[in-house]
Amino acid sequence: MLKQISKEHDSIVDDERTSNTVAALKQGILDNLFYVLGKRVEVSTDMDHFMALAYTVRDRILARWLTTREDYAKNNVRTVYYLSAEFLMGPYLASNILNLGIDDVIRQAAGELDLDLNHLIGQESEPGLGNGGLGRLAACYLDSLATLGVPAMGYGIRYEFGMFHQAIRDGWQVELTDYWLRYGNPWEIRRPQACVEVGFGGHTQSWADSFGEYKVLWTPDEVVKGVPFDTPIVGYRSGVANTLRLWRSEANESFYFDRFNSGDYEGAVGAKIFAENISKVLYPNDEEIRGKELRLQQQYFFTSCSLQDMIRRHETTGHSLENFHEQCAVQLNDTHPSIGVAELMRLLVDIHGFGWDKAWDITSHTFNYTNHTLLPEALERWSLPMFQSLLPRHLEIIYEINSRFLSLVRTKFPNDEARVARMSIIDEHGERYVRMAYLACVGSGHINGVAKLHTELLKSDVLRDFYELWPEKFINVTNGVTPRRWLAVANPEQSELMTSKIGHDWIGDLDQLSKLERYAEDSAFRSEWQGVQRAVKVRLAQYIAAKTGISVDPSSMFDAQVKRIHEYKRQHLNVLYILTQYYRQKKDPTLEISPRTFLFGGKAAPGYFMAKLIIKLITSVAEVINSDPEVNQHLKVVFLPDYNVTFGQLVYPAADLSEQISTAGKEASGTGNMKFAMNGALTIGTLDGANIEIRDAVGHENFFLFGLTAAEVVARKAAGYHPHQIYESNGALREVIDGIASGRFSRGDGSLFRPLVDGLLNSDPYLLFADYQTYVDCQDRVCKTYRDQEAWSKMSIYNAARMGQFSSDRSIRDYCKDIWNITRFEIGAGLPASK
């Protein structure tokens, strides 16, 4: 009987229930509404319709999802496991419809049921399971892995509460809880049969067994259950659906009932709370993360669940653990899962009986580590006492790894104890810490940065000692973004225009965009390009009016800076320019300046006071400028609350100018910079992160460059940097700073922005003052260029046409070739691509 069902499964794709005819899709929507949601048409809501449609789409994914899994197992292929504490997936519906290739039929089916597809797409609340760039990169990479047919799985945490929602009250950020699962999640499937157990705390005992081998038994105090929830990740017309497996922590019943039955009610309840807390909430990337025990619990929880799951999968496909590393390539998305190095050693040595050397050989050939930050304060380290009490066995293992590692350092660099102390995984200066980046470096085959400059700075600065020891481990993989979500879904107008000229192959092969280059010189095409840009801006303007009540003029230049709020990203430098323009205009109301709308969006970490003050500065400046009839014909400032992936899909396509103005040497890569440029925005930016590569790709003449280089920043600081002197000698800057300090933009309250102003005058660690004048000059060039719309459109087209290399498909090919050693892709995985 079972056999029969499995024999039939191939035909499920084409059966009446899940075929892609308009009739079957309509029936699917109605059936799901009735049978899954339990609603009659007459009383169903927009949310019900979205859900019914989502289930209907999921029904069309299932066959390829299961087939993909079976094909990978059959073909005995190396699998990539992408471990990430964050996956910022964004809404699935539109992207799944595009990737399945069923846009037209779905639109028609919805229409025939009197449903508006775009409206339904707008109902989906996005799973905000990430902070920003790092989590969104993971999501783009999953899209590309499935599109290229690379056997891969994402592993992370199914946070019950994702990234907080941001409201603006009285100009300040207020954080609201994100309960994204309120209406249920139609995309995921709970897989209770694949549960695993994870221990915490307790103690270890060691002894020599009858063969004289050293053995360790870890007896944890708490054991929690990890329950996997799987979401299919559909490749763009590749016939492949990979899996994102997110772990939810739950109480372990036997642990709970043992305590309960022995009368320890408090202990039982405590264990349940302990367990359920672990996957409760995503940490915003605060300074505060440090020292938070729950954060380390989260990291260990999902990493252990994932490694146990990989081992089980490896063994059930008939492989020996000895060649685990030949079948499994684990990518550590930053140091958050780097405890995995110690955990895999524990699993191999303590549980599966391997000797240390063999276990280390497997482990160090399994992991690779991607670094995403150059900020020293952002490098993770855990206080030793806390680590010891939570993961006593792992600390022993780390000591052993460290001692062997330091012997190697001593051999390679004799009589250099200073170096040994610098490189130790245990930081012994003052309070003792475990340095997670060092554990990741020691346990990984490759270490990569996310843009050329970033990788160079890792080698010469942050991880210099490791580079000197193992130069061959270091490699650059510049980030990329998926053109499916960030062009095809987000910007249907531009996509359609491009497709009408060069066909639609660019969606799966972004290098094809270069065919657009020749149209840059074609004035008829340019006017179509301008028409598209205008339509997209109107769409955003309507949205802004609805959300904020502010009316913005779509014929003004849309100048956007959307990203997390951080001093190094210098949103306040942008404000200094806005105020410079404001004063110019106030002094000479007849001044001809091209009208501009400054758009800001982004969240501040709740504990990051200066970032929150920057938001208050932006909203305060907005209040004054937008209500001043002398300037508001030319200048508008809008802070878009609750910036997220969904909102990004509206903003990137509508921007004329993209602000990428971080202090050089601070932004590892940036990915928003790529999304903007692909959508035809011109960039004003520093030589930082991937800006450098973008500028080289689009042509220096099509990029507005300003500011100190990373090397100049270092030299300037070394020579003694005195921002106060710049303030004294630059009249325009002085006027702006004095204006902020005087309370002119804070209803007369001169103390409000004092911490910001004093910080700039006295130390200015991100060199805003040093870059101020070149930034203003560069902005003036931007204004001048914008006045010539033909020239601007030409530059815009060149930008879009030359962004092929910033597709995440290219990044994933780089990882396959240089890091994972995967050469054979499984494109098609047994299903026709058009399905």
**Contact positions vs ligand T68 (CB under 6 A):** 131-134, 137, 285, 372-373, 378, 450, 479, 667-671, 689
Q: Indicate the SS3 state at residue 129.
A: strand
Task: Give the nearest distance from C-beta 129 to ligand T68 in angstroms.
Answer: 11
Q: Which of 563, 596, 612, 695 is flagged as catalytic? A: 563
Residue 257 sits at φ, ψ, to 5 deg, of -70, -35
Contacts of 829 (CB under 8 A, 6+ apart): 64, 67, 68, 71, 72, 149, 238, 239, 240
Handedness of CA 574, 579, 584, 586 (dihedral sign): positive
Residue 465 near residue 487 (C-beta atoms within 8 A)? no
Q: Which two tokens stand for residue 804?
A: 């092929």
Distance CA 355, CA 348 (A): 8
Q: Indicate the SS3 state at residue 367.
A: strand
Cβ neighbour number for residue 358 with a 10 Å cutoff: 13
Task: Give the nearest distance from C-beta 385 to ligand T68 in angstroms.
Answer: 22
Query: What is the CB-side half-sphere exposure of residue 223 using CA atoms within 13 A?
Result: 14
When CB distances to ligand T68 are compared, the closest residue is 133
- CA distances 509 to 335, 504, 835, Å, are 31, 9, 19
Q: Which of 39, 58, 325, 372 is flagged as catalytic? A: 372
Residue 707 sits at φ, ψ, to 5 deg, of 95, 165
Q: Which helix (H) or strand (E) holds 790?
A: helix 789-801
Distance CA 691, CA 252 (A): 49
Give DSSP secondary structure letters for 3-55.
HHHHHHGGGGGGSTTT--SHHHHHHHHHHIIIIIT---GGG--HHHHHHHHHH
CA 789 to chain centre: 34
Q: Which residues of 566-603 are buried (b: 16+ CB within 10 A; e: fewer)?
A: bbebbbbbbbbbbbbbbeebeeeeeeebebbbbbbbbb
Q: Which of 325, 569, 603, 616 is flagged as catalytic? A: 569
Query: Measured from the CB atom, is 194 or 378 closer to ligand T68?
Result: 378
Distance CA 120, CA 115 (A): 8
Residue 564 sits at φ, ψ, to 5 deg, of -55, 150
Distance CA 15, CA 7 (A): 14
Task: Give the nearest distance from C-beta 117 to ligand T68 in angstroms.
Answer: 32
Residue 582 near residue 631 (C-beta atoms within 8 A)? yes
Convert 804-829 into a string of H (helix), E (strand) and C (coil): HHHEHHHHHHHHHHHHHCCCCCCCCC
Is 570 a residue of the active site? Answer: no
Is 563 a residue of the active site? Answer: yes
Is 352 a residue of the active site? Answer: no
Task: Give the nearest distance from C-beta 660 to ligand T68 in angstroms.
Answer: 10
> DSSP state, 546?
H
Residue 582 sits at φ, ψ, to 5 deg, of -60, -45
Is 564 a residue of the active site? Answer: yes
Q: Which of 478, 671, 683, 686 is flagged as catalytic? A: 671
Query: Measured from the CB atom, is 336 or 794 closer to ligand T68?
Result: 336
Q: Indicate the SS3 state at residue 334.
A: coil
Task: Give the nearest distance from C-beta 474 to ligand T68 in angstroms.
Answer: 16
Closest residue by Cα to residue 244 from 194, 189, 300, 285 = 189
Residue 251 near residue 267 (C-beta atoms within 8 A)? no
Cβ neighbour number for residue 544 with a 10 Å cutoff: 21
Distance CA 362, CA 348 (A): 9
Q: Which of 675, 695, 810, 813 is flagged as catalytic? A: 675
Q: Which of 564, 570, 612, 666 is flagged as catalytic? A: 564
Residue 595 near residue 635 (C-beta atoms within 8 A)? yes
Q: Which two tokens stand for residue 514?
A: 């270069």
Is 671 a residue of the active site? Answer: yes
Q: Which two tokens stand for residue 303?
A: 């990493």
Q: Which two tokens stand for residue 200?
A: 């915490």
Residue with tokens 């990044």: 811
> DSSP state, 210?
T
Q: Indicate the SS3 state at residue 614.
A: helix
Query: Measured from the CB atom, is 252 or 660 closer to ligand T68?
Result: 660
Task: Give the nearest distance from C-beta 284 to ligand T68 in angstroms.
Answer: 8
**Which residues are tagged catalytic?**
372, 563-564, 569, 671, 675
